[in-house]
Amino acid sequence: MALPRLQSVLAACAAWLQRRRRAPTRQGAERRWVVLDVESSGLDPQRDRLLAIAAIAVHVDGRLARIVLRDSFEVLLRQESATPDHDNILLHGIGVGAQRAGVERSVALAAFVQFAGGAPLVAFHAAFDRTLMERACRAEGVAPMDNCWLDWEPLAAVLQPRVRARTLDQWMAALGIVCSQRHQAAADTLATAELMLKLWPALLRELPQPDGAGAVRLAAQRRWAGTA
């Protein structure tokens, strides 16, 4: 069970390296944004373990943004001390057996770092994902990522101030986005990417040439306005 996942990770690395040969420099990395979601052993990012990572790229060509399904990543990290937290397992569906059969943690994390490249990392409530990722990288001796992290939740509120939504489910309902299986990393990643595309025209009105750092500054307007 672990071998097919490892082969998938290695194939993702090879595909990334092939893209990297013709990819733009870090300055032009905003032509590719990486939307990600993680699954964890609990809700405390400072204490709980990273279980799985899923990501999908959004490619930008001029003013057009599109989800590229072939440019995606998914891995389950091996847990040497998996515990049968039934409520948590019911939420994300990753059982003890699957956790123990995952890909070696350092290999999985290094593969994701290579997959992401220099692209901005986009997530809904990104602080949770970022904390888990950075803790896991430190624990496994994987070089820390210096990518720009963008939280789509405050940015969405800035771009659509009339929508009274805070959670991903509320935004999905407001914008007519359907998710095949909530609280499953790959499905949640796709839902967040679809939210990004729904709000892309509004982002272009604020940032005619969107980049990660500019989007982060725009999202910060929510705090400045005192609406957080």
d(CA 2, CA 77): 10
Give the tens place of pLDDT for each residue, 189-226: 999 999 999 999 999 999 999 999 999 999 998 765 44
Q: pLDDT tier at 28 (50, 70, 90 boundaries)?
A: very low
CA distances to 18, 26, 96, 158 from 101, in Å: 28, 35, 9, 42
Assigned CATH for 2-224? 3.30.420.10
Domain boundaries, the chain: 2-224
b/e per residue, 2-15, with b = 16+ CB within 10 A? eeebbebbeebbeb
Is pLDDT at 15 greater than 70 in this prediction?
A: no
Is pLDDT at 22 greater than 50 in this prediction?
A: no
Question: Would strands 32-40 and 50-61 be described as parallel, antiparallel, or unpaired?
Answer: antiparallel
pLDDT of residue 70: 96
163 neighbors 171 (Cβ within 8 angstroms): yes
Tell me if residue 107 falls in helix, strand or coil: helix
Q: Give residue 154's identity as a one-letter amino acid code.
A: P
pLDDT of residue 82: 59
pLDDT of residue 131: 97
Average pLDDT over residues 19-28: 41
Tell me if residue 134 falls in helix, strand or coil: helix
pLDDT of residue 211: 94
**Sheet of 50-61, strand order:** 64-76, 50-61, 32-40, 121-123, 149-151
Which neighbouring-strand residues pair with 72? 56
Give the tens place of pLDDT for each residue, 121-158: 999 999 999 999 999 999 999 998 999 999 999 999 99
Provide the percentage of residues in the chain whose pLDDT is more than 70: 74
Torsional class of 36: left (φ above 0), alpha (ψ -120 to 50), beta (otherwise): beta
Strands (E), the chain: 32-40, 50-61, 64-76, 121-123, 149-151
Average pLDDT over residues 168-183: 86
> Would you give the distance in Å from CA 3 to the centre of its chain?
24
d(CA 110, CA 221): 34
